[in-house]
Amino acid sequence: MAWTGRENEERKGKRFPSLARRELRVSTTELKEMCDYYFDGKGKAFRPIIVALMARACNFHHNNSGEVKANQRSIALIAEMIHTATLVHDDVIDDANSRRGKVTVNQIWGERKASIFILAIESVAVLAGDFILSTASLVLARIGNTTVLSLITQVIEDLVRGEFLQLGSKENENERFSHYLEKTFKKTASLIAHSCKAVCTFHLFCKFILMRKILRILPCAKIAVSEELKSAASVSCGGVSLPGVQAWLGRALPMPLKHSHLKMGSMLTQQEVGKVSVLGCPDPKVHEIAYLYGKNLGIAFQLVDDVLDFTSCSEQLGKPASADLKLGIATGPVLFACQQFPEINAMIMRRFTYPGDVQRAQEFVLQSGGIQQTNYLAQRYCHEAVKEISKLRPSPERDALMQLAEIVLSRDK
């Protein structure tokens, strides 16, 4: 398949920062500077790349067209905006100094406060994160699809619940790892999984738009038409033509109303009909494939990230190394190391707050098999991701998604 310049930019994630900046139009100079600072095009754009590739792979699987539709691209953009908003908030919560190889927003603007009322004073960095998230919500609202809305709002709920899970710690050692994996899913994998599913389940049902138009023209037909439309199948993935809709109306309406169907059909322009084409694949099995791929790859990504926190330096990571231990967070390598060094359990419960806890825990992890075990677990999750995506029809996009699993495992930052 030949890639156009635009498609290549999209495949590499280069289009999304400019799309985000276009959405984040604001007259407040300081807020604009903060948004532009994060969407400068220097990030990995890992999430929107996955979502855009998934959209192409699923479209090709169903109708031999790998073209990404505008609203599918919007979902990829939303994923990146939500992710970026959470980074801004996380940096404030963690009081982080660097992110993506540069100073964080809260460090640059952090001491300056935005005051609206006497009792409502917040960090401008928090407000910037809120603004990015609210703008993503507006983009989501424009899509106008309740299924997509439900999937993406679940992501936001999971992010908040995941943050609270991270703040807690299980006293029962046997429950800690499942607690950790649940937190990992909610904070990292949920966004990828639900976004991948959203681009595949993106159905704008013809019957709902037609119902609104029919009832506007013939209110007396409300009961008969509604019942018929409830049982009608949605249009196919390949789109629908205006003559086809007019013919369908002739079949759908009861006999006394058939003489009016041509009038209804004439009020539907081809542009309006085009809006109700299905974008994605109607097969629930494909929806599940997309979701499971995103879930498994997302968990693997975070597991590798937790390993890099111990094995890479700050310059490589673009953020402080050993950050989780310093924040009192026990990740996979630490939990595996507990099996060889039980004394870590006490450190976990006190969140590594005693002098020397962080250094000792780090030494225990490096001496144990914790890093190797976490890497092995990441490999298992990547294997599951590849197994799922290989169920789709062969295409360059499907193959790229398979290769991403290898990239996740081999990355060093």
The token pair at 81 is 């905006």
Which of 96 and 122 is assigned the larger pLDDT?
96
Q: Which of 124-133, 273-282, 404-413 has the highest mean pLDDT?
A: 404-413
Which residues contact residue 49 at a Cβ distance below 8 angstroms, ignoring those fewer than 6 apart? Answer: 11, 12, 13, 76, 404
State how far the Cα of 353 lies from the Cα of 363, in Å rounded to an integer: 16
Is 50 exceeded by the pLDDT of residue 115?
no
Average pLDDT, the chain: 79
Which pLDDT value is given to residue 216?
Answer: 53
pLDDT at 387: 98
Confidence of residue 39 (pLDDT cuts 50, 70, 90): confident
Helix pair angle (70-94, 29-38), 10° resolution: 100
Task: Tell me the pLDDT tens digit for each residue of 46-97.
Answer: 999 999 999 999 999 987 677 888 899 999 999 999 999 999 888 888 777 7
The CATH number given to 5-220+277-410 is 1.10.600.10
The per-residue pLDDT for range 217-227, each reduced to its tens digit, is: 444 444 444 44
Extract long-range pairs of 165-168: CB within 8 Å, 24+ residues apart. Answer: 166/329
> Is residue 380's pLDDT more than 80?
yes
Q: Which residue has the higher pLDDT, 158 or 229?
A: 158
Domain ranges of the chain: 5-220+277-410
Q: Report whether 331 contacts 306 (CB < 8 A).
A: yes
Q: Say what the pTM is.
A: 0.78
The pLDDT assigned to 68 comes to 87
